[in-house]
Structure 1
């Protein structure tokens, strides 16, 4: 199920009613085209409820709905989509506060950033040329933990999927269909589909509980991290290299913390699973060890950073 994140910067702008009507027509057609391609359901995520939006300065959505029968039909189609608000209901904004920030042309953008982080699609009202495109570049700043335990900001530029008119949907159609068929939407689904989704990973029994009770806002980061670990293992040749060519940041625990990374392995022996990948925001960790004889990765822990017993 793709999440469509409504770009708050594209609403409540200075725009004449004729232009706003045309932009709303394109917008509704675009989101309905996504919904048509995804039989599992599409959700529109907005900072406030859609019915409370101002299309343009002094032009609330209720006034637009009542201005013509055609607009009323479009409104009914839009209402048929599941609407979630505020954005933090699906994006861990509070957890990310001070740790993760996205900017577009120098301005902080909540919905556009959430669309990238949650692997969704940003959707805008096409009232200006800036929003008439199928992708947008965002500046991302993320607070990460370095191997020595200190914290530092990393800065990069990321590309977010974006639509504001129906032709943009064509460019993302293959991805939308693939998403609806293959992506797990909950931690429980990740566990149940693990053999198909992650054929090069093995899981200790305790990870079933961790995935089954996974915070919904952590589903995408964990899913993304597991996918990258699986892809790393898929191309690993143990005879040629001690470790895979990692597709995400993987580090070992220091000597003083290795004792908290001991788990009862599948054969009943206690072993250290000190290699770990991080997922953000927050101190998310996936701990694992390499099974060279099988060319696999065995996962022991999925969740918060492991704290030593006091």
Structure 2
């Protein structure tokens, strides 16, 4: 199910009513085209109800709906896709633990940022030239915890998938079809489909509860982390190298922390799973150990950083 996130920055622009009507027609056609590519329900997520927005200054959506029967039909099609869950709910506020912030042109960009974080697609009204491209660049700032427990902001420029017209949908059709078939939308689905999604990863029984109860904000980051571990394990030849070529940051725990990384393995013995990959927001960890004889990675922990018992 592709998630579409409304780019609030593309609304309430300066243009005449004729251009606003044209932009809305293009916007609805593009959103519906994405939905038609997916076998499951597509959701359009926005900060507020669409009918509370202004297409252009002084031209609210409610007025546009009433201007013609065609607009009313377009509105009904659009309304069927809208999920009014606020986009800010998918990642924490900048001043919260694990602060994450996306900006565009020096201004906070909630919808665009949510589309990147949730591995979805941002959708915009195609009025200004900056919203008439299939990708949009964002500045991302995130508070991360280092190995020594200290915190620092990491900053980078990222590109988000973006649609405002039918040609943009054409560019993403292969991705939409592939992601619709392969995507796990909940932690429980990750667990239930683990054998198909991650044939080179083995999951201890304790991870079933961790995945089933996974914070919704962590679904996509965990999925990305597992995808990268799967790709590394698939390409690994244990006879040639002691470790796979990691596709993300993987580090071992120090000697003093290895004791908190011991878990009961499949055979009932206690084993140390001190290698770990990270995911955010917050101090998310995937702890695992290598099973060289099988060329597999065995996972014991998916969740917050393991804290020692006091």
User: What is the TM-score with the length of structure 2 in the denominator?
Assistant: 0.96
- Aligned residue for 1:223? 223
- Aligned residue for 1:280? 280
Task: Tell me whether 1:13 sits opposite 2:19 in the alignment.
Answer: no
Q: Distance between the aligned counterparts of 1:151 and 1:37, measured in 2?
A: 42
Of stretches 79-88 and 153-162 in structure 1, the one that deviates more from structure 2 is 79-88
How much does 1:144 deviate? 2.1
- Aligned residue for 1:306? 306
User: Any idea what the Cα deviations from partners look like across 1:119-157, whole Å, max 9, x if unmatched?
Assistant: 000000111000001111112222222233222222222
Q: Distance between the aligned counterparts of 1:306 and 1:153, measured in 2?
A: 22
Name the SS for the 1:156 alignment partner: strand
Segments of 5+ residues of structure 2 without an aligned counterpart are none
- Aligned residue for 2:4? 4
Q: Distance between the aligned counterparts of 2:40 and 2:129, measured in 1?
A: 32
Name the SS for the 1:126 alignment partner: coil
C-alpha distance 95-199 of structure 1, shift in aligned 2 (>3 A): farther
Of stretches 96-105 and 289-298 in structure 1, the one that deviates more from structure 2 is 96-105
How much does 1:105 deviate? 2.3
How much does 1:56 deviate? 1.4
CA RMSD of aligned residues (A): 1.4
Q: Work out whether residues 5 and 45 of structure 1, in 8 Å CA contact, stay in contact via their aligned partners in 2.
A: yes
How much does 1:95 deviate? 7.6
Q: Distance between the aligned counterparts of 2:8 and 2:257, measured in 1?
A: 44
Name the SS for the 1:281 alignment partner: coil
Task: Tell me whether 1:125 sits opposite 2:121 in the alignment.
Answer: no
User: What is the TM-score with the length of structure 1 in the denominator?
Assistant: 0.96
Name the SS for the 2:125 alignment partner: coil
Matching of residues 143-182 of structure 1 within 5 Å: 143-182=143-182
Matching of residues 148-297 of structure 1 within 5 Å: 148-297=148-297
- Aligned residue for 2:109? 109
Q: Work out whether residues 49 and 86 of structure 1, in 8 Å CA contact, stay in contact via their aligned partners in 2.
A: no
- Aligned residue for 1:35? 35
Q: Distance between the aligned counterparts of 1:186 and 1:292, measured in 2?
A: 30
Q: Work out whether residues 102 and 109 of structure 1, in 8 Å CA contact, stay in contact via their aligned partners in 2.
A: yes
Q: Which runs of 4+ in 1 moved over 6 A?
A: none
